């Protein structure tokens, strides 16, 4: 038991350091390329912090633990929203991440919600859709890949217009990255992403080893412990971004990671013999619905114009937290 605990702590420490620098390099790339923090956070930073999920879940599928893999991907989305809500309550945010000041992120949040809907559809209709697989891929998986590409295009076009508007209005660029060249920023980003890619699976394996003796089942363990472990890079990167005042980077990382996690079901479908959705518990649909609900509450919070809100009645971070813990309790009860 001591070895998994030490492994977990060491890997967590490595990810904390790498994730902090990852956010700094991502912010520099956003400035030096002119792509903007929202787009870089939604695609580049989100993809890098989601790398542990890919390696962990491919290993899990090859070992036959398909429920653990799918539970990790969907559960990580739920954990990411929990991270967003908790950070929104911190003094670094002061409620700005789920307020009208973050309304620009409603589009990326809606894209992630659309992908989660498709996954829920695949889980609930696998019995009828599986026979229509094309090239070994479920029609739902193909729809997820296409929807992700189109969603990224939407966010890119939206941010390009927003950037032009900001330039026309004479907005001043932020100072981060002034002492870095684009080449150095990219090299540093790739190096930090590589460290997270290596440390992430060891962290998740340690969490799995600590949980296997509990008899909680692959669905619950994947949705909670393994999902939390693979979401640690998102937590660290988002917190580091907040400390730099890069709120767009932090929010984009969460919504972008959730969308990217759904995309990662595609390689799992490729290596899984038969249909991926048919091989897993339908209880994952509970997590999907909860993630969708929490995402919509977060998006409503960003679009809602009222500043002073009634806790747990109007959309805010506490309501998101309540939904997440309610979903985890339901998954445990239905395990």
**Distance (Å, rounded) from C-alpha 229 to C-alpha 166?**
38
Paired with 140 in beta bridges are none
**Distance (Å, rounded) from C-alpha 220 to C-alpha 71?**
7
CATH topology of domain 2-333: A middle domain of Talin 1 (1.20.1420)
Determine the pLDDT at residue 110. 94
pTM for the full model? Answer: 0.84
**Whether pLDDT at 174 is above 60:** no
Geometric angle at alpha carbon 99, from 97 and 101, rounded to 5°: 85
**What residue spans define the domains of the chain?**
2-333
> CA–CA distance from 201 to each of 62, 154, 167, 255, 263 (Å)?
14, 32, 42, 22, 19
Determine the pLDDT at residue 58. 85
Pick 174 or 330 by higher pLDDT: 330
The number of helices, as runs of H, and strands, as runs of E, in the chain is 15, 0
Determine the pLDDT at residue 47. 87
**Distance (Å, rounded) from C-alpha 5 to C-alpha 203?**
10
Pick 103 or 92 by higher pLDDT: 103
* Residue 81 near residue 327, CB atoms below 8 Å: no
**Whether pLDDT at 219 is above 80:** no
């Amino acid at each position: 038991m001591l070895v998994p605990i030490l492994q977990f702590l060491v890997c967590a420490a490595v990810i904390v350091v790498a994730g902090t620098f990852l956010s700094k390099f991502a912010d520099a790339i956003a400035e030096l390329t002119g792509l903007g923090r929202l787009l870089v956070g939604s695609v580049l930073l989100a993809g890098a912090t989601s790398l542990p999920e890919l390696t962990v879940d491919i290993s899990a599928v090859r070992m036959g633990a398909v429920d653990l893999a799918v539970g990790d991907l969907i559960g990580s989305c739920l954990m990411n929203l929990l991270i967003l809500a908790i950070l929104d309550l911190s003094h670094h945010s002061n409620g700005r991440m789920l307020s009208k000041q973050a309304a620009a992120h409603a589009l990326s949040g809606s894209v992630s919600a659309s992908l989660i809907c498709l996954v829920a559809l695949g889980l609930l209709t696998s019995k009828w859709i599986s026979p229509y697989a094309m090239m070994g891929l479920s029609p739902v998986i193909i729809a997820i890949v296409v929807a992700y590409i189109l969603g990224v295009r939407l966010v890119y076009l939206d941010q390009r217009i927003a950037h032009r508007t900001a330039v026309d209005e004479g907005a001043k660029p932020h100072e981060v990255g002034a002492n870095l060249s684009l080449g150095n920023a990219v090299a540093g980003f790739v190096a930090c992403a590589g460290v997270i890619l290596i440390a992430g699976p060891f962290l998740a394996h340690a969490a799995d080893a600590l949980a296997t003796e509990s008899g909680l089942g692959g669905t619950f363990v994947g949705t909670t412990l393994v999902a939390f472990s693979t979401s640690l890079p998102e937590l660290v990167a988002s917190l580091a971004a907040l400390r730099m005042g890069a709120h767009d980077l932090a929010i984009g990382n969460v919504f972008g990671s959730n969308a990217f996690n759904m995309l990662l079901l595609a390689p799992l479908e490729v290596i899984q013999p038969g249909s991926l959705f048919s091989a897993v518990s339908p209880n994952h649909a509970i997590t999907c619905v909860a993630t969708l609900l929490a995402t919509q509450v977060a998006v409503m919070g960003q679009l809602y114009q009222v500043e002073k809100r009634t806790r747990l009645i109007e959309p805010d971070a506490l309501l998101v937290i309540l939904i997440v813990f309610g979903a985890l309790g339901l998954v445990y009860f239905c395990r």
